[in-house]
Amino acid sequence: MSSKLSHEGAAPARLTVCAPLRLEARAIRRGLRGSAGAEVRRTGMGARRSAAQAQRLADEGLAVQGLNVEWPGPVAVAGTCGALAPGLRPGDLVVATEVIGPGGDSIGCPAAPLLAGELRRAGFTVHEGPLGTVTRLMDRAQRDRAAAAGAIAVDMESAFLLAGRAGRPGRPAIVVRAVSDHASQPLLRPSTITGGIAALRALGRTGPVLARWAAATQPRQVLLAGPRSFCAGVERAIEIVERALGSSTAPVYVRKQIVHNTHVVSGLEQRGAVFVDELSEVPDGATVVFSAHGVAPSVRAEASRRSLDTVDATCPLVAKVHAEARRFATDGYLVALIGHAGHEEVDGTLGEAPGAMTLVQSVEDVAALEPADPAKVAYLMQTTLSADEAGVIVDALLERFPGARGPGSDDICYATTNRQQAVRAIAGDADVVLVAGSANSSNSKRLVETAERAGTPAYLIDHTGDIELDWLTGASTVGITAGASAPPAAVSQIVAALSGLGSVEVSERVVATESIRFGLPKEVRQA
C-alpha cells in the first residue's frame, strides 16, 4: 500500500502577499496578474500597522472554502529594503533566511534556499541572509545593531508581519525584499529615488515565482533512504586529508577532487588543502594526496621522480580492482573494463595495464571486441556503476565469450549497491525522489537512474537551491537520498527547506546497516 498522503479534492492553497506600501502592492499585483488564488494585501508601514495585520493573519479563517483547517495558505512578505552589506545594489533581491526583530529575536525562513534558487533561475540577482527589522530606517544605531547581528539588509515590517504565523505554526512564510540603495550611501539623497524605481521594477517581476512557490506549498511526507551519504571509503579519504593538514605546516596538495562532491572539496579548501588537476602544479618535494578514485602507476612514478611526499587515499575497493587488472593482464587476458569514459577511477584502472585493457561502455562495445584469443577474456567493473547497467553488459560479454572470467568478488562496491537498493525501497511510494550529490558523482547519478527505472521522477541536486519548485508541486511524498560522496548535512538541509513549504512527516526505510571501516595509510596514522 502506498504511503503517499492524500489531498485529493482539496482546493489549492491561497497565497497572501503582504506588501507594506501602496507602490509595493501595486508592483506585486501587476506581477501576479493572471495567477489565480492570490491576494495582495497592503499592510501599511511600520510596527503598529504591521502588528495589526499580523493579528489579522493569525485570527483569520480559511481563505479557501473546503481547505483542511490544519492547512492554512502560505504568506509572502514582499517590499523594498535598505542595504547593509556591501555588494547589494538597487534592484537586487534579498531572500531572508531569518528575520531579526528590533529586540534581537529571530524568526526562521527555512524555505529561503528554494525561493532564492527559483528567483536566480528566473534571472534575478539574489542575496540570501538575515534580514533585520527596525522601527526607524533612519536610525543609524538600529541599523548598526542589525548589521552586528548579521543582517544584510533592513526593513520596518517583516518581523512584525511574520508574527501572523503564531496561531498556525505550520503556515509557510517567506520574505523577499528588493534593494533600493547602497550600504555605503545615506538614504536621503537623489539616487535613492532611482534605486527605489529599480527596486519596484524588480519586485513586480517576482510575481510568477511567488506563485510557483505558493503552488509547491503543502503538508507532505518525506521518505529517507537508508543507507545514504558517506561510505567508508569516502570517510577514510576525507580523514586522510584532514590528518595531513593537521600534521603539516606546509601546503597539502590533493590531486583531483578527493571525492566527487563540491561541499567536501570546498570545506577542505577552507581548511588549507590545495586541489590540483595534475602533479605538474605541485612543487617538488611537497606533500600530495591521491584521491579516493585511484591513480595510474604512471602518476605514482612521476611523484617518485619528483620526490613528492605522497599519501594514497585510494579507496581499498578501487585498489582491489587495480590488483585484479594486474593479475588478469599478467596471465595474458584481454581485460574489458565496464565503466564510463573520463571518470577518474576508470582512468586509473586502465593505467594499471594499458596494453591489456579496453573500456567497454555498452553492449555495442562488446560486439566490437577483437581479442587475440577469445578464450582469454576477462572483465572488471567501475565500482560506482548501477548493478542493472553493468549486468546487461556482463550478459552480453558472457553470451559472446562464454568462458570470460570475472572478478573474484563483486567489483561494484557495497555502498553503491546498498544505496541503490534503498532508493528502490522508497521510489514506489514517492511522487518524486531528490538525490543529494554533485554532477560529477557517478554513484549519485546512478541513484537518479535507479529511481527513474522504478517509474518515479528523480533529480540530482548539489545545493538545496537546485530544487525546482515545479518538481514539488502536487508531490505529497518526497523521497530523499544522497550519494556515497555527499555529506549527511545535505539531506538535513533538504528536509529543513521542505519544512518551509508546510509541515513534514519524516520516516526512514533502512535496507542495510553498514559497519565497515577502512584503516588509514601509515603516513597519517599518527597524525
Q: Catalytic residues, which ones?
A: 345
Cα distances (Å, whole numbers) of residue 264 to 193, 237, 267, 416, 467 = 44, 11, 5, 19, 20
Q: Rounded to the nearest 10 degrees, what angle do helices 387-400 and 414-427 cross at?
A: 120
Question: Parallel, antiparallel, or unpaired: how do β-strands 38-42 and 126-133 relate?
Answer: unpaired
Cα distances (Å, whole numbers) of residue 37 to 14, 43, 186 = 5, 19, 39
d(CA 285, CA 282): 8
Phi first, then psi: give them for residue 273, nearest 5 degrees: -70, 140
Q: Record the cell numbers describing residue 368, joined without a space.
A: 566490437
Nearest to 417 by CA among 455, 384, 456: 384
Element spanning 127, H or E = strand 126-133
d(CA 525, CA 308): 19
Sign of CA dihedral 209, 215, 216, 218: positive
d(CA 274, CA 313): 15
Phi first, then psi: give them for residue 46, nearest 5 degrees: 90, 175
d(CA 321, CA 388): 19
Query: What single-letter DSSP state applies at residue 184?
Result: T
Contacts (Cβ under 8 Å, ≥6 apart) of 354: none
- Say which residue the cell 504565523 belongs to: 165
Q: Record the cell numbers describing residue 337, joined without a space.
A: 573494463
d(CA 118, CA 126): 10
d(CA 146, CA 420): 47
Burial class of residue 316, CB neighbours in 10 A (0-12, 13-18, 19+): middle
Query: What single-letter DSSP state applies at residue 524?
Result: G
3-class DSSP state for residue 405? strand
Question: Parallel, antiparallel, or unpaired: how do β-strands 75-83 and 153-155 relate?
Answer: antiparallel
Contacts (Cβ under 8 Å, ≥6 apart) of 169: none
CB 17 within 8 A of CB 28: yes
d(CA 106, CA 120): 25
Identity of the residue numbered 203:
L
Element spanning 243, H or E = helix 232-246
Question: Parallel, antiparallel, or unpaired: how do β-strands 153-155 and 106-108 relate?
Answer: unpaired
